[in-house]
Structure 1
Amino acid sequence: MPLDDALAQLLERVQPLAATENVSTFDALGRVLAAEVRSLLDVPPADNTSMDGYALRAADVPAAGTVLPVAQRIPAGVVGEPLQPGTAARIFTGAQVPPGADAVVMQEQCVAIAAAVAGDGLGAVRIDTVPVAGQWIRRRGEDVQCDSLVLGAGTRLTPAALGLAASVGAATLTVARRPRVALFSTGDELVMPGEPLKPGAIYNSNRYTLRALLQSFGCEVADLGIVPDQREATRAALREAAAGHDLILTSGGVSVGEEDHIKPAVEAEGRLTLWQMAIKPGKPLAFGEVRRPGAAGTAEGGHAWFIGLPGNPVSSWVTFLLLVRPVLLRLQGAVDLAPRAYTLRADFDWPRADKRREFLRVRLNERGGLDLFANQSSGVLTSAHWGDGLVDNPGGQTIRAGDLVRYLPVRELL
C-alpha cells in the first residue's frame, strides 16, 4: 500500500479524544489547544520605546546639536506626564512614551548635560541627529490587537506559542487530554541493557526509542516490557494494554512467520489490518483495534487502537515518524499534521533505485547540500543518530550528485 493511502486510512479511522483539561500555561509545552485563545487587550497596551534614550517632539530638533532641557525621567513601569513643547524626557526601554512625544532618540546619539552645567534639576541633552517622527516607538496593538485570535484550537504549543499566550494574560489553557499509550516489544531474542547478552540475543533498543518518541508527543506511557514469542502471552499483554489506554504500540512480530504472533493475537482480541507498505525501510505495518475487557460501544470507550511496527530499529523509527506521529497528533485534535519539507541539493549518488518509496538518512552539510550515511540498512540505528533528516525518494528514482531532492528535517517530525 502506498504511504499516503495508509496514512489517509489511519487518520480517517482515528478521531480526536473528547476529553480536555485546563492546565497552567507554564506546564503546557507540547500540548494541543482544545479551545482558541483570544486577546482581551492590545499588545503592547500603549505606545512604548524600544530603546533607552530621550522622548521628544521631532519638530523640536530641526538640526543636529539642538539642546533641550530634560523635563522628566520615565523608567519602565512608570507613566510619564504629558511632554511640554521644547523639552525632552529621559526614557528607558519598555517605558510608555509620554503624550506629546512622537519620537525617541537612542542615547548613543545624545550627550547628557549635567544639571550643574544646565542649571536645571534634571539637566539637559544635546541631540546629535535629526529625528524622524515615529522612530524607535512600538505602537499600541502592533503585536496583538484586542479581541483578535491569538492561537487557534488544534495548535501544538511551542515555547513561542506559550510566550504569546502569556503576553495576552492567559494564565491557563484548555488542552486535549494526553493520549494514554501502552508499549511493549515482542521477541525471545530481546534482553534489556544491564542484563547478560546470551548467544543469539540482542539488546532492546526499540523500547528506548519508541518510549522517548511517545513522551516527546506528550503521551502518558505504560511500558509493559518484553512479551515472549507465545500466542497466549501476546493475547494477555494485549488485554492488559487495552484496559485504560487509547493506543497500543508494539514493535516486532508483525510479519507472517511461525514466530510472529501479533496478527493472530490481535485478531483474537479485536480486529486487524496487516499492510505491506510500499516504503523502505518499514515494509510491514499492522493497524487495528483491541477490545477493552468488558467494554463495548463507542470507539473511545470500547477499544484501544493498535499499531504494530516492524522490529528492525530504523524501520520502527521511520514508521513511527511517518505514521504514528500524525495519529498521536490527530488524537489530540491537532490541525497541522503534515511536516514541512524542503527542496535541497543532494551531494551524493544513489544509483540503485528501489521500487518502493525510500527514506534515506542524510545530514545537512556546510555547503548547503545533503550528505548520505554510507550504510542505509534498516538495522543500522547509527544512521538515525548521525542524520538530521530524511530524503523522501520516490520509488524507482535514482539520485545523482547535484539533483534536487525532498528533504524532511527530523525536527519537523518531532
Structure 2
Amino acid sequence: MDTPTAPKAGAMLHLRGNRLSEGEPVALPLTQSSMYHLPGDWTGGPSYGRADNATWEHLEHVLAYLEDAPTLAFPSGMAAISAALFATVKAGSRILIPSDGYYVTRRLGERFLQNLGVEVVQRPTAAFCEGGLAGFDVVFAETPSNPGLDLCDLPAISEEVHAAGGLLIVDNTTMTPLGQRPLELGADVVVASDTKAPGGHSDVLMGHLATRNADVLQAAREWRQFGGGIPGPQEAWLAHRGLETLEVRFDRMCSTADVLAERLAAHPLVRQIRFPGLASDPSHALAKQQMARFGFLISITLDSAEQADAFINGCPLIRAATSFGGVHTSAERRARWGDAVAPGFIRISVGTEPAEELWQAMQASLQAVVA
C-alpha cells in the first residue's frame, strides 16, 4: 500500500489570494457580525451569525483543501467529536471507542451517550480488532492513540467495518492531514482538534470534521447550527493564520522528534519510550505503511512521578502544560489526569526550537534528576 501523500502546502497558502480582485486585502479579513442586511424576502445569502460567517467559512475552505473533503469548523476538537457522534448514532446504536485514547471522548460516551440508549464498548488501540467489528454501527478510532502512541490498522479496520454496514470515524489530532490521511485510508469521517498543531500557538481552541458522506455532513451541520456549537470569528481568524505556517512548523517538529527519540531511547534514565519512528517501536512497520511522517509526540517513562516532575520542571526549554502541538516544547505527567499509565510516564510534544539546543536542555535536565 502506498502511503497517502499530503496536499501541496504552497497551493494552500494561495487558495484565497488567487481569487482576489484589485485592492482587496491579502490577509483574511475578520468578519465580526451577528447580523446581516436583509431587505425584502431572503434570497439565501448570509442571514444570522449562528449560521453564516465569512471568516470561519474561509477557514473551512482551507481545511477542506487539506482534507480533500467538505469540512465543518467547530469551537473545539471535542465539539467536532460530539458532532460526529451525535450525527451518526441514535438510541439503540452500538459504538466502539478506544479505551486508551483521549479520555474526554470516553467521558462523553459514558456520561451522555449511554444515558441516551447508546451502547458504548471500549477496547485498547493495539487490540482494536480483537473480538471483531461486526455489530457496531459506529467505530471511533484514534491512531496514534493519545497518550500511549499505539497504532491500529486503518485500512483493515475500514474494510471490516464497511463489510458489516458500519461507519468509521477517525480522530487524527495527533498527526494532522499533513502526517496521516484517514479518509484516503478508508475512514468515513475524520475529526481533529485544531487547537493543537494546526493552530500551533497555544492561543486558540478550534476543531473540525471532514467527510465525503453527504448525509453525515448535513447532520453535523444541523447539529452545529441548531445546537449552537459554532466557532467564533476571532478564533477562526487565529486558526486560519496558524494553518498558513502549519507545513513549516510540522516539518520542523517531526524532524526534531526523529532526532530526540533516538537519543532519549539510548538514555539510561529512560525506562521505556514510544515513538512510531523508532525501528524498535511495536508500531513502526504499520506507521511506515499509513503515515507520511512519524509525528511530533514522544512518550517516555521514568522511574517515578517525582523524577518525571523534576525532569519537566527543571528543563528551561519545556513548558509544563497539558495539550500539545504548539511552537513551545511541552510535556506532562499524564497519570495526573487518570490515564492508565505508569506514574513516571511523560508525554512530550516537540516544538519548533532548534534540535540541538533543545536536546542539550533536555539532557541537562535528565542528568540533574539523578545528580
Give TM-score, length-normalised by structure 1: 0.27
Q: Which of the two has greater helix per residue?
A: 2
Q: Which of the two has greater strand per residue?
A: 1
Give TM-score, length-normalised by structure 2: 0.29
